[in-house]
Chains A and B, each alone.
Chain A
């Protein structure tokens, strides 16, 4: 540490960080000379809790490891248990699982794009992407009954079937989202503000990405062509045609490009899934007690490789459940990316690995304090009320919406 260097502690509670984590930065002027990371503030003892509960209850607990990748963790877990119990999961169930997985990726990537926009002061992008994200959230809510923590999985299959009436609705939503994503690809590749703000920020070379074990879009944006969906196929991915998106920019800009382009692949996969959706049952009966054995399950979550190891001991409770979430692999990469970077880049560099946080709100409850009446505003009502609010003040957004072909709800 030089004579004029100084240290800045950031976190565990900090306005620039969305989750509790703590960084101690050693600064050399405006540049970060070195940093240490302290994690664990959100450790909830889920692995230990899994050992005390039955497999069925564990699915719902595991689903709550992460608010956004909830289906990822639940699927990764049930895959391991099904392998130990040697269950033949019906093909229709596997396709439905894969469908939810790709819808979850769309919601996660759109959410990320908004966060990234916000972190660089481009809040218009945040508003656009989060509004469009509602389209996929509505589809997820229609299919599963929930916006996050879908509860679709059970050991041996899925809990809800897809009706023929739902399929055209999903396809219509995918068409809308594809149209919007083309616009975002245009924004990401042509908008000077984005290109200049993100290029050369949070650099991670190919060699460093491999050496430090980066996963997911973070690794793929450094040219590392790894995707568990293709390399270690699970669910229905072995039967789908898709490209693994990589980019050679090796910076935050590359990470943005990889994610928007991955959205297009997800739309492609969803159309294939719905076209080839097999008939038949959606689950097989699973035994309450799982025979002794072990299995390792891997899953390409929106943030990267998710790893679950399950050991069974012949009872109805697991002997051990180990979870390696993708963010743990990537947080270590962040320390490297920030080195020699500017302090002001820290929020976007951290956001660029897409660490997880949860969102469940879907209604606004307005209480009239005088009369005590409680009104529940639906999304369309809230939408028109906000347009009306601005119109009264001389700002009209309706024309803008028509120009970008925004869906009515």
Chain B
């Protein structure tokens, strides 16, 4: 049995609901679909018990009715486990992972600024990467947002952006 299959097996043994949700796409690349409610415990197990000690990135996606979040976790030996979870667009609330990876705050701030996710427990700090005077409720990576909207935006002080 390959190491990737062993990881898949251990995840399924621990979390029965993942039985048909894990795919080994190629050597060193595993993709898993995790329901939002089970995400914290799955993430905790993956990091602490399965030794995925590197957070390579977090990708945010606009999936229509939902927002998708992929946590790209890696082991020292190059195996990457991509944990995908979704949250409804009208309540896109996820929990922070900064307690596991302090450096995740930049990745999570990106989700907040660019996709309008709400990250519970994200420590205070400067926003990233949009400007301080970016208008509220404008999320550039959402599919219904387009560049033309930039011209129509009003800045907080009431001046037209150009």
Contact = CB atoms under 8 A, between A and B. Distances in A.
A324 B107 contact: yes
A47 B126 contact: no
Given A228-B78, A309-B70, A36 B125 contact: yes
A332 interface: yes
Interface stretch (A210-218, A278-286, A390-398, A400-408): A210-218
B102 A211 contact: yes
Contact of A320 (B54, B61, B103, B125): B61
Interface string A197-226: 000000000000011110000000000001
Contacts of A231: 76-78
Nearest to A210: B53
Contact of A232 (B25, B80, B106, B145): B80
Contacts of B78: 228, 231-233, 298
B56 interface: yes
Contacts of B31: 294
B126 A305 contact: no
A174 to B, nearest CB: 28
A296 B140 contact: no
A296 B29 contact: yes
B61 to A, nearest CB: 5
Contact of B106 (A294, A295, A328): A328
A226 B128 CA distance: 27
Given A38-B126, A39-B129, A296-B72, A329 B103 contact: yes
A320 B57 CA distance: 14
B57 A43 contact: no
Nearest to B107: A324
B54 A213 contact: yes
B82 interface: yes
B108 to A, nearest CB: 12
Interface in B51-92: 53-57, 59-61, 70, 72, 74, 76-78, 80, 82
Contact of A40 (B28, B57, B130): B130
B101 interface: yes
A331 B102 CA distance: 13
A307 interface: yes
Contacts of A322: 57, 59-60
A40 B129 contact: yes
Nearest to B61: A320
Contacts of A333: 103
A141 B80 CA distance: 36
B106 A36 contact: no
A78 to B, nearest CB: 16
A48 interface: yes
A305 B60 CA distance: 19
A332 B75 CA distance: 21
B129 to A, nearest CB: 3
A247 to B, nearest CB: 18
A83 interface: yes
B128 to A, nearest CB: 5
Contact of B55 (A37, A45, A213): A213
Contacts of B102: 211-213, 332
B126 A48 contact: no
B12 interface: no
A226 B53 CA distance: 12
Contacts of A213: 54-55, 101-103
A92 interface: no
B47 interface: no
B26 interface: yes
Interface in A111-168: none
B56 A320 contact: no
A339 interface: no
Interface in A295-311: 295-296, 298, 305, 307, 309, 311
Interface in B87-111: 101-103, 105-107
Interface in B113-154: 114, 125-131, 140-141, 145, 147
Interface of B: 25-26, 28-29, 31, 53-57, 59-61, 70, 72, 74, 76-78, 80, 82, 101-103, 105-107, 114, 125-131, 140-141, 145, 147
7 contacts: A39-B129, A47-B114, A213-B54, A226-B76, A232-B28, A296-B82, A309-B70
The 7 closest A-B pairs by CB, nearest first: A40-B129, A232-B78, A324-B57, A213-B103, A43-B129, A322-B59, A231-B78
